[in-house]
A and B are shown apart, each in its own frame.
Chain A
Amino acid sequence: MRIGVLWNKLADPKNIPRLFAFSLGIILIVGLIVPMALNPDQLYPRPAPQEQIDEGLAIAPYDRGGEVLVAPGEINPQYPDNAASLGMITGYMSPLAQWISSISPYFGTSIYSSPGGLIDEILYYTRGFDTILESSILMMSFIIASWLSVNYTMNRKNDEDEIKKDFKKAITDSTHVANEVKANDIKARSKQLRRDN
């Protein structure tokens, strides 16, 4: 194949995601042979797997210890002298979270809660200002993405014709479904009757 043909194919936006996914896949496959080992000296020290669960802690596996404003939790900051009170609110839980963790042993594994949340490290005050910066960047992206989808993807104020068409389609679809359900119902009943007799 001539290189010109190849370049022309690359100029089509439709082909780009496929090419990208392909090259990403190749790199990920190469990654399988790279020696991987976790460095034990981490910024966020974690207990061994299952350790906290065996101990029966209420917010296992995310119990970081520490008492709010009294004693810091188990953290290992990069620059300890930059924030003296680091880790003081690591153990904070909202009253709701405290109540749920008192009645359920699975609180630490649920993602709606503050401990064991999706972005666990960020929600704890373990890295000083980074806590605020990182989550605000992330929140900004979420806000913009949802704003875009509300205003463009889901906004259908301007295409009334299409809405009408979709209404019609939905109505015929639901009648169709209802008819099918009815037919199935009758079939099942007759089967049951036959079995009973």
Chain B
Amino acid sequence: MDFVTLGGDLLGTIPLGDIVLYINPFNLFLFAVLLGFTFLIAISKPETQVEASKFNTLGVAEVKVDEKEFRQRRFLSIICGIASAGAMITGDLFNFTLFMALVGILNIGIVSAVKQTSVLNSAFNYGLIAMMCSLPLFGGAAIILASTGTLSLAVLSQMPASPMVVFGAILMLIGILGESGVAPFFASKAEMFRTPGSPFIVIIHLSSLFIIVRAVEILLLVLW
């Protein structure tokens, strides 16, 4: 499918050597929204959760995020936002998978300082999936490159899909499914959110949402 049909009129291209970023309203909107969210997260403070920890008495405990952890999480979530914004606007299949892998590592990083065992356990399981995902992600991109000889999305969208391209796209799809944690692989990623520090935890969710939308566009471009 042509990217003009999918994302609206071509507003312009940014030629960077062999990568040509094409800008159409769809990509630009995703990019701008994600950068806006990243900015909001960058200036926000973490929330404090109140837990009714003692059962019989009315004692409550505050679950706080300390200063060092807060700074680290903020840094990682800003990078995560920028990486996902890059994945929104990139015009190169391989760069998309690279951004995707970076987002996966950052997602683990954001929750790595949490002191709840269940969260760390699910982060570990998510890490296993993220490691496995590098095979289908990069392998899928490599198979598409081998069968078409190009990685540029603008050129790929004009090419007819051969069985090899379809297989590469399916491989990429399963990599994206695992890395962004959608059904049926949601449990490990969903458990990672159950921790205080919400504005930074939210970027984990947000980045996977946006990347799924962009991945659908890319798969349509490649396959149709």
Residues of B within 8 A of A27 (CB): 136, 170-171, 174
Residues of B within 8 A of A152 (CB): 112-113
Bound CA–CA A128/B107 (angstroms): 30
Task: State whether A79 touches B20 (Cβ < 8 A).
Answer: yes
Q: A20-B129, A144-B76 are in contact. Are A82 and B18 (CB under 8 A)?
A: yes
Q: A20-B185, A24-B132, A140-B79 are in contact. Are A37 and B17 (CB under 8 A)?
A: no
CB distance from A30 to the nearest CB of B (A): 8
Main secondary structure of the interface of B (DSSP, over half): helix
The residues in A between 159 and 176 inclusive whose CB is less than 8 angstroms from any CB of B are none
Contact indicator per residue, chain A 10-31, by CB within 8 Å of chain B (1) or not (0):
1111111101110110010011
Q: Tell me if B145 counts as interface (CB < 8 A to partner A).
A: yes
Determine which of A31, A39, A77 lies in contact with B171 in the assembled complex, contact meaning CB atoms within 8 Å.
A31
Q: Tell me if B148 counts as interface (CB < 8 A to partner A).
A: yes
Task: State whether A79 touches B125 (Cβ < 8 A).
Answer: no
Contact indicator per residue, chain A 98-128, by CB within 8 Å of chain B (1) or not (0):
0000000000000000000000000000111
Task: State whether A144 touches B187 (Cβ < 8 A).
Answer: no
Task: State whether A11 touches B98 (Cβ < 8 A).
Answer: no
Q: Which of A58-66, A89-97, A130-138, A177-185 contacts B (4 or more CB under 8 A)?
A: A130-138
Q: Tell me if A154 counts as interface (CB < 8 A to partner B).
A: no
Determine which of B19, B79, B113, B188 lies in contact with A130 in the assembled complex, contact meaning CB atoms within 8 Å.
B19
Chain B residue at minimum C-beta to C-beta distance from A82: B15
CB distance from A73 to the nearest CB of B (A): 14
Task: State whether A41 touches B149 (Cβ < 8 A).
Answer: yes
Q: A12-B187, A17-B132, A133-B95 are in contact. Are A42 and B149 (CB under 8 A)?
A: yes
A-B pairs, top 3 by smallest CB distance, nearest first, are: A128-B17, A129-B16, A127-B18
Bound CA–CA A13/B191 (angstroms): 8
Q: A37-B164, A42-B149 are in contact. Are A15 and B171 (CB under 8 A)?
A: no
Task: State whether B16 touches A133 (Cβ < 8 A).
Answer: yes
Residues of B within 8 A of A20 (CB): 129, 132, 178, 185
Q: Tell me if A145 counts as interface (CB < 8 A to partner B).
A: yes
Bound CA–CA A129/B17 (angstroms): 5
